[in-house]
Structure 1
Amino acid sequence: MPEVTIDDSADDDANSVSSPSLPWLWEAGPTADAIYDITKSDLMLNRREAVKVLAITAGLPLVDPVQRWLAHPPPVPSPSGYSGRIGLDEVAQLEQAANVFRTWDDQHGGGLARKAVIGQLNEVADLLRDSHPHEVGVRLFHVMAQLSKIAATMSWDCGMQTAAQKYYVMSLQASTPGQDKPFGASVLASMARQLLYLDQPQDALELIRLALDGVRSTATPRLRAMLHTREAWSYAKMGRPESFKRATGNAEEAFSEIGSRDPDPDWIAYFDAAELAGVTGGRYLELAHHDNRFAGDALDHIRQAVALRQRSSMRSLALDQVGLAYAHLISGDLDEAVTVGSAAADTAGQVQSDRVRVQLREFYLEIETRRDPVVAPLQQHIRETLAR
């Protein structure tokens, strides 16, 4: 694993807190220009060099600039002498392409398609350097926001944490002129999830609170449920089980209301019953590491997630299976931990995801401490999977 460092230094001037590594731009034109330049550079990037040392921004340099997302969005520039190269039909095709990339990411992880997404993102940013009719411009910014978020997730799957955070920030900024606060809230949730993986739960909680504030009157029940699971995750990381249970209850209550309001957009459709069960079970598992009384709850929820999970969602299924194997291990059922762990290694071998590799490696290190002959074949299986 490459070294991950956290930059949480605060600027002396509270009104100008920022990080030199993140492009804090909120106006439509400069946002498009910045994304065009960054993606152009990224397409020429040597990934081996990019993953050696990773610096992640956290603390005030991250949280304070993000608060500008709550402000009213700046207008998309009106055309002064129309020079746009595309119309609404072409925009619809770009929207469909973003959906295809999102599906690919969910099914296979991001390793194989990352540069294809960045190339498409670069093209959309280039289009936005022209002037367009208002509807075309707004929809192009929304496509750019979606592609930036997909690029962020794929960068993470490649182990490129710095690039992932940068693309999340660009997605949040593109969603602002795209006039889509709910999508921006989903980006904040993804940024929070990255911070949670890097053991920064307080910052993650701050971002989720901003997200909830920003969409209090506009979020669908499915989006609210997802945001509350991120809130619960933050509390679990902090070792606050009662707050975790309260936030989990809020997520389950919101999820029960799905269907009572407007239909959900495609980008939140992934958050289904399997995802709710898997995320909740994973958090119970974190609590069980410190108090094995939570192991039973972890087993119940993760079993449900595995049963409900669509087999096409390979990355999520792999994470569920690793978590279930870990829960069996904590519960003292070594034989079942080996059986499920072997299935997890099989699934992990079919995806390109740094998150899955990290989880599988952590499970390997845990079973290594058992020094029981029954785990030896599983250890060999996992070593071969990680080597591939």
Structure 2
Amino acid sequence: MPDADRPQELPARLLTDPEMINACRLRDFARVFRLVKTKAGIYPSMIARRCELTPSRVGEVIAGRRHLLHMDVIERIADGLRIPGHMLGLARRSWETPQALVVTEREAQQPSEPEETPSSLPGPDVDSILAVATRTSLSPATLEAFRSSIEDYWRRDNQHGGEPLRPAIVGQLRHVVELLKEDRPPSIQHGLYGIAAELARLTGWTYFDARQYNQARAYFTEALHLAKEIDDRQFMANVLACMSLQATYQDKPADSLALVTAAQDQARSAIGTTPRVLSMLSMREAFAHATLGSQARTHEAIKEAHRQFERIGQDDPDPAWVSYFDEPKLIVDTGIAHGRLGEAATAEPLIADALRREDHSNQRGRAFHAFWLARTQLDQGKLDQACHTATQALQPASAVASERVSGHLKEFYDQLAPHRQEPVALAFEARLREALPLVSGSTRP
């Protein structure tokens, strides 16, 4: 792009202005646009042109009559106004990093679009024309097809990891968001919002599993906004619970507790929240308390999780997204919560029992739980058992592309440091080195 055509950079004094920083953090684009106008001289018509919005839409945003929620619009604003990605909860934008350095940035490795369109495929303009020409009205069957594909994505995510699936998931999310811009019957529109929210959550989950936390948070936030449009408080609780779990991985236990408490508030304010949902949320609360080291509150939350689980009825209208939280999952999460507290003797039999009963197709879950079992065994001085368990975990770990799995593997290896010269530890290390090329994201010990 010639220099004359490049978007004007925002003044450094504006990008460091606390009011601008706060407005971006909250994605309060009414304030952002006003600040850009008054402090950078970029007027609404210019904002509209640079962000590919209509002038009337910009005017409605500034007047507070419209809120911008969708990721594609937020990305256009960041790029058009040259707002650094981190200020809006996005990954580093391509224009922020010299091209030669882009490959070193983990958060920037996933291009949102291919740089070139293969000659055998039509260009994006032709795609848009064809989409208009072939557009048909949506039916309940169409919504069911979307939901079925989401269930299939989750199944494959458990088996293989979500990173290879992400381009397809994001593509479907963008397609559904485009469908939301048209007038539809209320029931169809409501269904589309729910589907878009689930796709955004799933995208966030794939980034979380890859330990790309900023991108995960951005998509989880989009999922919250979409669910709020249809007042689906149970689903909002689900998304907040995902964010709470991420906070435990980021070693932010206070944030984790705040997020899961907000999730429980949403669930309790919803009509028809099921005991299974409340049980799952109580277990996430137990994780947060355990990470904070609060023994009494962890035990109390575990007790509540089991009490709610006992209330589950055969005909409860559980949302599809909570079906994974079955009895083995309750048991293994109970064991992990005790393990986080350092109560290894209590945790070990619970995790071992759940592993015996767990679905063998869930490779990532089996790898996680086997490493947790090995850690509890090692904490009790059972070196032989721990190394045997961890060796068994290498097979499911190598079958799934998951940075989180690799992280658990490394944590266990680090725990072995005092025992590295023991024969059983040396044998595990040899097996580990054999498996490392197959385990996504692992670093050779």
TM surpasses 0.5: yes
Judged with a 3 Å threshold, the aligned counterparts in structure 2 of structure 1 residues 20 and 384 are, in CA distance, closer, same or farther, namely farther
Aligned to 1:51: 106
Aligned to 1:206: 258
Match for residue 322 of structure 2 among 248, 262, 268 = 268
Judged with a 3 Å threshold, the aligned counterparts in structure 2 of structure 1 residues 139 and 377 are, in CA distance, closer, same or farther, namely same
Say whether residues 1:221 and 2:275 are aligned partners. Answer: yes
Judged with a 3 Å threshold, the aligned counterparts in structure 2 of structure 1 residues 113 and 21 are, in CA distance, closer, same or farther, namely farther
**Identity percentage of aligned residues:** 29
Say whether residues 1:386 and 2:433 are aligned partners. Answer: no
8 A Cα contact 1:360 1:382, kept in partner:
no
Judged with a 3 Å threshold, the aligned counterparts in structure 2 of structure 1 residues 247 and 18 are, in CA distance, closer, same or farther, namely farther
CA distance in 2, matches of 1:350, 1:92: 30
Q: Which runs of 5+ in 2 are unaligned?
A: 1-16, 30-60, 80-89, 110-134, 439-445
CA distance in 2, matches of 1:328, 1:351: 24
Judged with a 3 Å threshold, the aligned counterparts in structure 2 of structure 1 residues 207 and 343 are, in CA distance, closer, same or farther, namely same
Question: Cα offset for 1:267?
Answer: 0.7
Question: Cα offset for 1:225?
Answer: 0.5
Say whether residues 1:258 and 2:312 are aligned partners. Answer: yes
Aligned to 1:182: 234
RMSD: 3.1
8 A Cα contact 2:162 2:206, kept in partner:
yes
State how 1:99-114 maps to structure 2 within 5 Å.
Answer: 99-114=151-166
SS at match of 2:164: coil
Aligned to 2:142: 90
State how 1:226-237 maps to structure 2 within 5 Å.
Answer: 226-237=280-291
| Deviation per residue, 1:187-227 (Å, 9 max, x gap) | 00000000011111111111111111122153211100010
Match for residue 162 of structure 1 among 198, 210, 214 = 214
Question: Cα offset for 1:385?
Answer: 2.9
Aligned to 1:239: 293
Which of structures 1 and 2 has the bigger CA Rg?
2
Off by >6 Å, runs of 4+ in structure 1 = 24-29, 41-47
8 A Cα contact 1:285 1:327, kept in partner:
yes
| Deviation per residue, 1:297-330 (Å, 9 max, x gap) | 1102111220121011111111000000111111
Give me the TM-score of the superposition, normalised by structure 1.
0.80
SS at match of 2:163: coil
Aligned to 1:34: 71
SS at match of 2:424: helix
Judged with a 3 Å threshold, the aligned counterparts in structure 2 of structure 1 residues 296 and 222 are, in CA distance, closer, same or farther, namely same
Judged with a 3 Å threshold, the aligned counterparts in structure 2 of structure 1 residues 88 and 181 are, in CA distance, closer, same or farther, namely same
Say whether residues 1:296 and 2:353 are aligned partners. Answer: no
Question: Cα offset for 1:94?
Answer: 1.2
Question: Cα offset for 1:387?
Answer: 3.5
- Farther off after superposition, 98-107 or 329-338: 98-107
Tell me how many residue pairs correspond in the alignment. Answer: 343
Matching residue's letter, 2:330: L
Match for residue 367 of structure 1 among 398, 408, 416 = 416
Give me the TM-score of the superposition, normalised by structure 2.
0.70
State how 1:5-44 maps to structure 2 within 5 Å.
Answer: 18=22, 20=24, 23=27, 30=67, 33-35=70-72, 38=75
CA distance in 1, matches of 2:137, 2:25: 32
8 A Cα contact 1:84 1:132, kept in partner:
no
Aligned to 2:360: 311
Aligned to 1:7: none
Match for residue 327 of structure 1 among 338, 358, 376 = 376
Question: Cα offset for 1:276?
Answer: 1.2
Aligned to 2:443: none
Question: Cα offset for 1:141?
Answer: 0.6
Question: Cα offset for 1:28?
Answer: 12
Matching residue's letter, 1:136: I
8 A Cα contact 2:367 2:396, kept in partner:
yes
Matching residue's letter, 1:256: E
Question: Cα offset for 1:159?
Answer: 2.8
CA distance in 2, matches of 1:37, 1:129: 16
